[in-house]
Amino acid sequence: MSRPDYSEWLTPERLAIEEKAWGDPATRTWPWFTDAIIAAAKRTPIQSIIEFGCGTGWVPQNLTGFNYVGVDANQRCIRLAEEKNPTRSFVLADTRTFEFAEEMYDLVCAFSFFKHFALDEWSDVVRRVLEFGVNGLFSVPIAAADKDDGTEFPHVWVTKERIEIVVESAEHRIVQMTPLPWGETLVETCRD
């Protein structure tokens, strides 16, 4: 029996719980991600950003000076993101089949997102996302061996070697990898 996609698992009741945690100063993680975007923009010119798995729009709400597009497969998340960010663009789409972007974005990002794809599709999804950007920024749990410890939806851990291979297959290279306090690693890439 296959587990549902995280965007399907995220019912209105579950989303309400997650949204509260995402906004709680004691549990929120988005400040780390906005800080990482701002730091990356100091090292390389970034004007346009596309975020896959944008959720309810906490990251763009706390960024200024960037042309931003958010992509998520959960309609309720998109609705909340639009309410928080009325001047930003959001697209309801599955990352696996997303075709909206015709241009290359300065930065493509995905935070606490790739961990929700099954191991058999993980590399294809990450490669596909990175191909939309000149620079990449994403977070993922890293382990000594690939594993999926999810019970209700996929929750994967991947090896550093797997990350290196998929980044190279997207014609990017790893700039830096930074461990985050909650067990994920922030990976910054750039196109070769």
The whole-number pLDDT of residue 1 equals 46
Rounded Cα distance between 117 and 177, Å, is 20
Neighbours of 132 (CB within 10 A): 22
The per-residue pLDDT string of the chain (192 residues; one tens digit each, 9 = 90 and over) reads 467 789 989 899 999 999 999 999 999 999 999 999 999 999 999 999 999 999 999 999 989 999 999 999 999 999 999 999 999 999 999 999 988 666 789 999 999 999 999 999 999 999 999 999 999 999 999 999 999 999 889 999 999 999 999 999 999 999 999 999 999 999 999 998
Rounded Cα distance between 162 and 160, Å, is 5
Tokens encoding 130: 């990175």
The whole-number pLDDT of residue 101 equals 61
CB proximity list for 154: less than 8 A, separation 6 or greater: 3, 5, 6, 115, 116, 117, 118, 119, 148
All structural domains of the chain, each given as residue ranges with its CATH number in brackets, are 6-191 (3.40.50.150)
Question: DSSP code of 121?
Answer: H
The whole-number pLDDT of residue 60 equals 96
The whole-number pLDDT of residue 120 equals 94
